[in-house]
Chain A
Amino acid sequence: MIRPLLVVVSLALFGVAKIPAEHAIAQAHRVLHLRAVDFNLDLREQVGQLGFIAALSGFRSLVADALFVQAHVAWERTEWGRVLLLFRQVTALQPRAILFWDVAAWHMAWNASTAALEDPAQPRLALRVKAQREYLALGKDFLERGIKNNPDRPQLYEAMGRLYRDKYLDHEHAAEFFAKAAQLPDAPSYDKRFAAYELSQVEGRELEAYTRLRQLYDLGERERLPTLLRRLKEMEIKLDIPLAQRVPDGLP
């Protein structure tokens, strides 16, 4: 009887000794945004009992992948409601996976919104436009939450820039998000150019846009792409830049 008791006491004493180490590693995970998922009732409701248990057992990413494949099938069948539901589950399980936020936003803002606008079952244009806007907002919401969970990565800022540029035709916000993306590590070189291109289309900010375009031009041949040269020329004319200060003609 004494030996089992001693074993339990040893186990408890070891338990006390290990707490600081476990706590320190868990804190390090939090600092690094690892295990960014809160296992709470919201997640349980979103992913279902089986998914919740699988996620709890350390197979969070596998469950997320399985749901992602299901979402892909739902998209092929144009079941938009199901696509939305599945992507909410996927992003809840893997909030650090850029791919999931990006694809979710793309499905909502590009595919579902277009399908809603061209819905043959809805004869009233006003209702089709309303549905389109709702899907656009859903896409934007995915990107906003994605950025909140991944503030250190450029891809979702870039996706938000594209959304404002192509869907909302809001060049000022598009420029802002491309510029934010460009400031982050590992951002592609075109983000800076895209920010300047978008700014060049904003009324009242032409001088700022011209300055940025000119700075890019001055970086050398690598940045002197046809779109940049064309925008620069447009700005020079619009702002009436003295001829001596203009870039040489040489548009392709």
Chain B
Amino acid sequence: MNSSGHRAFSPGRIAAITANTLTELTRLKVFYVLLFFALLLIGSSIFMARLTFQQEFQVLKDIALGAMSIFTSLLAVLATARLIPQDREDRTIYTILAKPVPRSEYLLGKLLGVILLLALSVTIMGAVFLVVLNLREHAVLNETASQMSGAPPAQIAEALAAIRASAFNVNLLSGIAIIFVKACLLASLTLFVSTFATTTIFTTIVMVCVYFIGHLQGIAREYWLQNNSAGWLTKTFLGLVTLLFPDLQLFNLTDDIVVGTAIPSALFAKTVTLGFFYSGFYLLLSWAVFYRKEL
């Protein structure tokens, strides 16, 4: 603490900005619209899955996790892209930064507000998904038990165990956690873009492009590292894509989790660490651009 009683870094100030950002974001209609559509899609997956009549759990999980992935990614980009431009429009940024609030705390508070919103959304969507899955699992278990009422107990037990195994498995929780980590990464990257962008729409468009390029980064990296016959122009282009963009494909594990592939805990830990490492770095970069920016 310095002589005037002002601390260079204050968790209290960050918490105040975080709480304020979260309140602002939860008041937005777009948040409820997105959440409503996500929940609608997750809820309706139970009916879509029944269309396929066989191993419906796979389709149910695909749709629900796909919906979660789409909506958290959208929410991360849309909610973050408007933070700084909106504060400038409302002139609240001037009020905040006129006080002895470091810009790093302002950015960190804003990002944490979005991350809390994402955590809230993922928790709600995850809970609805697990309830839907559980309801359907019980319905199928009851149907199977009544259909096989005359069969030997060992056969019934085997059939019921197979149904339980195809419904919930603990890897689904890893999948949901990775969806959240990917959304955090996108939020911090959006914050970085918004520090030099002039409008929300520009940030959103740039992020849509980054999203697609990020999913191709892995292919570019492999080609860049392994192919020596490519021309210098191609290699330069691939090198830039590899160096400047995150590999978003690394966070797409749900496609494999729904078909029953087990994700080892070491791989899960590495992916989560990489995700938070990216997020931290993009936050640092945001601060580097923002700390002396003329507002």
Which residue numbers of A lie inside 8 Å of B, CB to CB? 3-4, 6-7, 10-12, 14-16, 18-19, 21-26, 28-29, 32-35, 39, 53, 56-62, 64-65, 68-69, 72, 94, 96-99, 103, 188-189, 222
B87 at the interface (CB under 8 A from A): no
State which residues 114-157 of B face A: CB under 8 Å: 154
- C-alpha spacing A25/B225, complex, angstroms: 15
Interface of B is mostly: helix
**B275-289: which have CB < 8 Å to A?**
277-278, 281, 285, 288-289
Chain B positions 236 through 274: 1 when the CB is less than 8 Å from some CB of chain A, otherwise 0: 000000111011111111111011110110010011001
Question: Which of B69, B158, B196, B256 is close to A34, meaning CB atoms less than 8 Å apart?
Answer: B256
Provide a sorted-by-A list of 28 A–B residue pairs whose CB atoms are within 8 angstroms.
Answer: A4-B196, A11-B244, A12-B243, A15-B242, A18-B278, A19-B225, A21-B270, A21-B274, A22-B247, A23-B225, A26-B222, A33-B256, A34-B256, A35-B249, A35-B255, A56-B215, A57-B211, A57-B212, A58-B255, A59-B66, A59-B70, A61-B258, A68-B52, A68-B59, A94-B259, A96-B259, A97-B258, A97-B259
Find A72's partner among B51, B212, B251, B261 (CB 8 Å cutoff): B51
Given known contacts A3-B288, A22-B221, is B48 in contact with A94 (CB within 8 Å)?
no
On whether the beta carbons of A34 and B253 are closer than 8 Å, the reply is yes
Q: Tell me whether A189 and B158 are in contact (CB under 8 A).
A: yes
- B264 contacts A32, C-beta separation under 8 Å: yes
A55 to chain B, nearest CB (A): 9
A135 to B219, CA, bound (A): 36
Are B259 and A35 touching (Cβ within 8 A)? no
* 8 smallest beta-carbon distances between A and B, as pairs: A15-B243, A62-B66, A58-B252, A61-B255, A97-B259, A61-B62, A99-B55, A34-B256
Interface set of B (CB-CB < 8 Å, partner A):
48, 51-55, 58-59, 62-63, 65-66, 69-70, 154, 158, 196, 211-212, 215-216, 218-219, 221-222, 225, 242-244, 246-256, 258-261, 263-264, 267, 270-271, 274, 277-278, 281, 285, 288-289, 292
Please tell me if the beta carbons of B270 and A188 are within 8 angstroms of each other in the complex: no
Q: How far is the CB of A59 from chain B (nearest CB, A)?
A: 6
Contact A11 B249 (CB under 8 A): no
- Report chain B residues within 8 Å CB of A25: 250, 267, 270-271, 274
Residue in A closest to B57 when the chains form the complex, CB atoms: A99
Q: Inside 8 A of A16's CB, which chain B residues have their CB?
A: 243
Whether A57 touches B215, Cβ cut-off 8 Å, given contacts A7-B288, A16-B243, is: yes
Asked whether, in the complex, the Cβ of B285 is within 8 Å of the Cβ of A10, the reply is yes
A58 in contact with B288 given A65-B63, A97-B259 (CB within 8 Å): no
Q: Does A22 contact B218, Cβ atoms closer than 8 Å?
A: yes
When chains A and B are docked, how far (Å) is the Cα of A24 from the Cα of B216?
17
Contact assessment for B244 and A12 in the assembled complex, using a CB-CB cutoff below 8 Å: yes
Contacts of A53 in B (CB 8 A): 212
Q: Which residue of A lies closest to B248 (CB)?
A: A58
* CB–CB B212/A19 < 8 A: no
Q: Are B292 and A103 in contact (CB under 8 A)?
A: no
Contact of A24 among B70, B154, B215, B270 (CB under 8 A): B270
Residues of B close to A99: CB separation below 8 A: 54-55, 58, 259
Residue of A nearest to B270 (CB): A25
Q: Is the CB of B212 within 8 A of A56?
A: yes
Shortest Cβ distance from residue A110 to the other chain B in the assembled complex, whole angstroms: 13
